[in-house]
Amino acid sequence: MITKMKEISLCMFGPRLYKVHLDGPPTSLYLPRYTESWGDRVIYSLNLMWKISIFTCPFVSLYFYKRDYIVISSFVSLFKLMASVGFVMVASLCMRGYGRVTNPQYREFIRALTEPQNKTQLRRFDFDFTAWPVDFDCGKMARSDKPKFIEPNKRQRKRWNDIAMNIIGGVAVRSFGLKLIYPGSTSILYMFVEKVLLEGRIKLVEEYGGKRYKIKTRDNNEIDSMFVDRRGVTQNGKTLVVTSEGNAGFYEIGVMTTPIEAGYSVLGYNHPGFASSTGLPYPLEEQHAIDAIMQFAINELKFVPDNIVLFGWSIGCYSIAWAAVQYPDVKGIILDATFDDLLPLGLSRMPPSWRPMVTEVIRGYVDLNIADLLKDYSGPIKLIRRTMDEIICIDEGRMSTNRGNDLLIKILAHRYRNLFEADQYTLLRQYLSLQGPALSVFVSADHPGDMDKNKKVLFLAGKYLTDYKSTHCTPLPKEYLQIPRDLTLDEDFVFT
């Protein structure tokens, strides 16, 4: 039980409430009283003004200094302004608190929030995730197998121009580079999609019985995740699909939908820095995030690795590839609309004069080399290539420049070294540049070189790769979500 004064304090300073689940239709959100709504608007506006003033303060101070405005009278005026703003803030907090205290729904929410052990009651509410209690702390898990986190590339720099480029690259990645690679981590994008994300969460909770969890990583980031449990409900429910979104994707409106519609249990999450997840999507933080998700799935949700499928889309496949290496006993991985290495794509999108800086930023800070990671994974893989992909292609409209082709070639060449010579590389490049009837004609034709090797290479390419006629961001239909199998177990061919 909470005292009256504590309840009033929590109402004044407590988190925003967005939705009471299963209380009316899904479109009905929490309706604050007028006083709470008014107070919230003023507090939000003052906080926004404060954030803007922090960035503009140096420039404003310099402007005032040049015009000799910084005198005693100016400080008196500034003090009066700050006192007035403080009075408005206190009044707004009181108005908000009064509105919430007199609202039965918010008071019920506060009581549930102060009893974190009663998670069932708390899950009835959707509110600011910062106030959500931690459900699983990966850092407190005692583990015999230590994950191998990949640190940023620490190259030795002996020349002055190398050191200068390192400084330029560091400034670039911290100021705008990471935001260009992961636009989903920008607060501006989140402001535009916040309402859509809320609608997506409501659908996951109320239509599919989803449960929201806060998972703490070993590097102390808090990851917003959603679990939909279909065990005992559908035929595929005993298999868990762990999803990883693209560079502007969120689990609320992302790839979770495909495995849910296919009847699987699904665990999705937002990358560090995306929506309500804390941190930034640097590779090391991405690794910590997916590791915490996997530990949560195994230790808390009680799924064994060989009943877990890893499913990534676009840039999210980096996290999936790293997790596959650390958890080699998973059932398999599915990589949709992805690439082999981020660097060629980054160079193709930037002016040629930026090449040294782009190389420094990617290789030194955001080295997402999926093909290199997968050399250490020997389990089942399924690649899905979008034949109209405008993002993963170096030249839009030319399927031969799709970097998914390079990923497939690198995987097959590493796994089946005895099959690959110069003729087979050429053959596979030609095969991957075709589609439709031309592809069938190509497969049935005779090609120069070792016929036995040629047939096996084309057979493998057909098994590893599935084409989907679509653009990059089209939702994947559930029939394309095929769990990959180990070819040495299911096929007649045995490769040595």
pLDDT, position 495: 47
- Give the closest residue to 257 by CA, choosing from 478, 468, 484: 478
The 10 Å CB-count burial string (b at 16+, else e) for 267-285 is bbbbbbbbbbbbbbbbbbb
Nearby residues of 34 by Cβ (< 8 Å), 6 or more positions away: 99
How far apart are the C-alpha atoms of 428 and 431, rounded to whole Å? 5
Q: Lowest-confidence range among 41-50, 239-248, 388-397, 476-485?
A: 41-50
pLDDT for residue 443: 79
Angle between helices 422-432 and 451-464 (to 10 degrees): 40
Of the pLDDT bands very low, low, confident and very high (cuts 50, 70, 90), residue 438 is confident
Q: Would the pLDDT of 295 be above 50?
A: yes
pLDDT of residue 77: 77
In the chain the domains, ranked by start, together with CATH numbers, are: 4-129 (no CATH), 180-341+363-490 (3.40.50.1820)
Rounded to whole angstroms, the Cα distance separating 268 from 484 reads 20
**Mean predicted confidence (pLDDT) in 379-393:** 96
**pTM score, whole prediction:** 0.90
pLDDT value at position 70? Answer: 65
Beta bridge partners of 17: 127
Q: Burial-class residue 170 by CB neighbours within 10 Å (0-12, 13-18, 19+).
A: middle
The average pLDDT across 401-415 equals: 96
CA atoms of 206 and 201, how far apart (whole Å):
8
Residue 191 burial (CB count, 10 A)? 9
Q: What is the pLDDT of residues 70-86, one digit of tens each?
A: 667 667 777 888 899 89
**What is the pLDDT of the chain when averaged over all its residues?**
89
Please tell me the distance from the alpha carbon of residue 101 to that of residue 33, in angstroms, as a whole number. Answer: 10
Average pLDDT over residues 249-259: 97
CA distance 328 to 378: 8
For residue 162, name the pLDDT band (cuts at 50, 70, 90).
Answer: low
For residue 445, what pLDDT is reported?
81
pLDDT above 50 (res 346): yes
- What tokens were used for 293? 């998700």
Instruction: Give start and end residues of each alpha helix (H) in 240-339.
Output: 257-261, 283-295, 317-326
DSSP secondary structure code for residue 468 in this structure: E
Q: What is the pLDDT of residues 116-154, one digit of tens each?
A: 677 889 999 999 999 999 999 999 987 777 888 987 765
Query: Per residue in 452-468, pLDDT tens?
Result: 888 899 999 999 999 99
Q: Select the more confidently predicted residue: 462 or 165.
A: 462
**For residue 492, pLDDT beyond 90:** no
